[in-house]
Amino acid sequence: MFERAALVHYHEIGLKGHNRSRFEDRLRINLKAAVRGLDAAGDVERISARVMIRILGDDPVSREEVLQASSAIPGVSHVSDAVLCSREEQDILQAATLVMREAGEFASFRVDARRSNTDHPTSSLQMNIDIGSHLVSVFQRKVDLSNPEVTCRVEIVEGYAFVYARRLPGPGGLPVGTSGKVVALLSSGIDSPVAAWRVMKRGAVVIGVHFSGYPATSDGSTRTVMEIAQVLDRGLGIGRVYSVPFGDLQRRISLTCPPDLRVLLYRRLMVRVAEAIAAVERAKGIVTGESLGQVASQTLENIAAVDDAATLPVLRPLIGMDKNEITVDARRIGTYELSIRKDPDCCTLFMPRNPQTHATVAEVIAGEAELDLDSMVSEAVASARYRDFKCPSYRKPKVSVGAPWKDEA
């Protein structure tokens, strides 16, 4: 019986000196958190440009849980379902036979052996030949170097060898906790969860802020957003999600402001509330799910009118993406099915018949002249409800605003 391991690979491009060890430490901490509590999860160790998670026991279902959980973590390029064995030839041949048997039916294969330790006596080329001929004799399948159905990989490192034929793709990117913290405006729609995911994948800890139509509508959109956050949190990058009841504030705007500017004024207030929360959380950017020209509110003029209310950088990771590209991402991440539920959020409330598509900054500033913005922001922040998620890099603010959210369903 061989020992098994989930062998975690990451891209090393651009990783130098101090950055490299920061990246690797963070990745190891995040992977440890990802597999914590799983039956098959053993020690998590750094070994020559990889992280190895030792697998306990021999239950394939439990092993699969470790592989799945680790391959969801930003910074991971892929995870191999590996056999861990000695560097003895007999062991390597047996391990290769085992992983190829697990690979199921195949018509062609090749062997790709590497030594990261050149103290190993056999060259890579010779290993390819030896292991390849052994596998031909066992499986009676042909070798195809250019387009094989299965590749049997062997990595010789200090002290042992890894042998594997199956790799699960990871998200790539950077480990969460290496790029600071952002506040993401999370509607329950398709786009904003994808935007949040994209910055999480670039290493940022995400604090979600949702605006519900409550008390003018039910609070169903909050529940959906919390479920969406739970899906995103498979990447362990969500610190906390706030839900802010926005119905009353919108009503006040709709009573005193020009109807065609309402949507922009709602958005400007959302940005101000998000910044107040960012100040509490010490977050350094705002993320939204806008894509250029997708809807009336997403013209350059209107984007400028919203940005004018912000002091932090507003990041729009989807700005150049088409709706169908965003949808493909949402399906892959797993948020799509939740986003197409029909929960009214505040977006459906008090909508004007003809929203302005080319507002100027001067117009929106004049439009909100009657509003006591500071007290509206304080009111919004005080009435927020929040829920914490599992991100291991998240540090809660010393003094929280709002109150914990309770799902009353």
Is residue 185 involved in binding ligand ATP (CB under 6 A)? yes
Does the CA dihedral 196-214-373-366 come out positive or negative? positive
Q: Give backbone dihedrals phi and psi of 80, rounded to 5 degrees, phi first.
A: -100, 140
Q: What is the dihedral of CA 363, 369, 375, 380, to 10 degrees?
A: -30
Could you tell me the two tokens for 87?
Answer: 């560097």
Q: In what order do the strands lie in the sheet containing 403-404?
A: 314-315, 286-287, 181-185, 205-212, 238-245, 385-388, 403-404
Q: Which of residues 60-89 bind Mg ion (CB under 5 A)?
A: none
Q: Does 219 bind ligand ATP (CB under 6 A)?
A: no
Q: What is the DSSP string of 203-232?
A: T-EEEEEEEE-TTTS-SHHHHHHHHHHHHH
**Residue 289 interacting entry, from Mg ion, ligand ATP, none, C-beta within 5 to 8 Å by type:** ligand ATP
Q: Does 187 bind Mg ion (CB under 5 A)?
A: yes
221 contacts 343 by C-beta, under 8 angstroms:
yes
Q: In this complex, which beta carbon is closest to Mg ion, that of residue 187 or of residue 302?
A: 187
For ligand ATP, the binding residue among 294, 327, 357, 383 (CB under 6 A) is 294
Judged by beta carbon, residue 152 or residue 261, the one nearer ligand ATP is 261
In the region spanning residues 362 to 391, those forming contacts with ligand ATP, defined by CB under 6 A, are none
Write each residue from 327 to 366 as x if it is in contact with ligand ATP (CB under 6 A), else as -, in one continuous string. ------------------xxx-------------------
Exactly one of 191, 281, 329, 343 binds ligand ATP (CB under 6 A); which one? Answer: 191
User: Considering the complex, what minimum distance in angstroms separates the CB of residue 165 from ligand ATP?
Assistant: 40
Instruction: Return the residues of window 1-30 that contact ligand ATP according to CB under 6 A.
Output: none
User: Pick from Mg ion, ligand ATP, none: which does 15 bind, CB < 5 to 8 A by kind?
Assistant: none
Residue 189 interacts with ligand ATP (CB under 6 A): yes or no: yes
Stretch that binds ligand ATP, among 38-46, 78-86, 285-293, 385-393 (CB under 6 A): 285-293
Alpha-carbon span 48 to 161, nearest angstrom: 12
Q: Going residue by residue from 138 to 177, which x/- string records binding to Mg ion, judged by CB under 5 A?
A: ----------------------------------------
Give the whole-angstrom CA distance, residue 102 versus residue 89: 20
CA distance 392 to 404: 19
- Pairwise CA distance, residues 128 & 132, whole Å: 6
Distance of alpha carbon 119 from alpha carbon 161, whole angstroms: 13
Closest to ligand ATP by CB, 128 vs 192, is: 192
What is the distance between the terminal CA atoms of the chain, rounded to a whole angstrom?
A: 48
The residues pairing with 210 across neighbouring beta strands, listed in sequence order, are 243
Contact status: 192 vs ligand ATP (CB under 6 A): yes
Which position among 187, 217, 222, 335 is part of the footprint of ligand ATP (CB under 6 A)? Answer: 187
Total Cβ atoms within 10 A of residue 358: 11
H helices within 238-388, ranges in order? 247-256, 262-281, 300-307, 323-333, 336-339, 361-367, 373-382
Site for ligand ATP contains 210 (CB under 6 A) = yes
Q: How far is the CB of 340 from ligand ATP (least distance, A)?
A: 10
Stretch that binds Mg ion, among 54-62, 185-193, 196-204, 264-272 (CB under 5 A): 185-193
Q: Where on the chain is the footprint of Mg ion (CB under 5 A)?
A: 187, 189
Q: Where on the chain is the footprint of ligand ATP (CB under 6 A)?
A: 185-187, 189-192, 210-211, 270, 288-290, 294-295, 297-298, 345-347
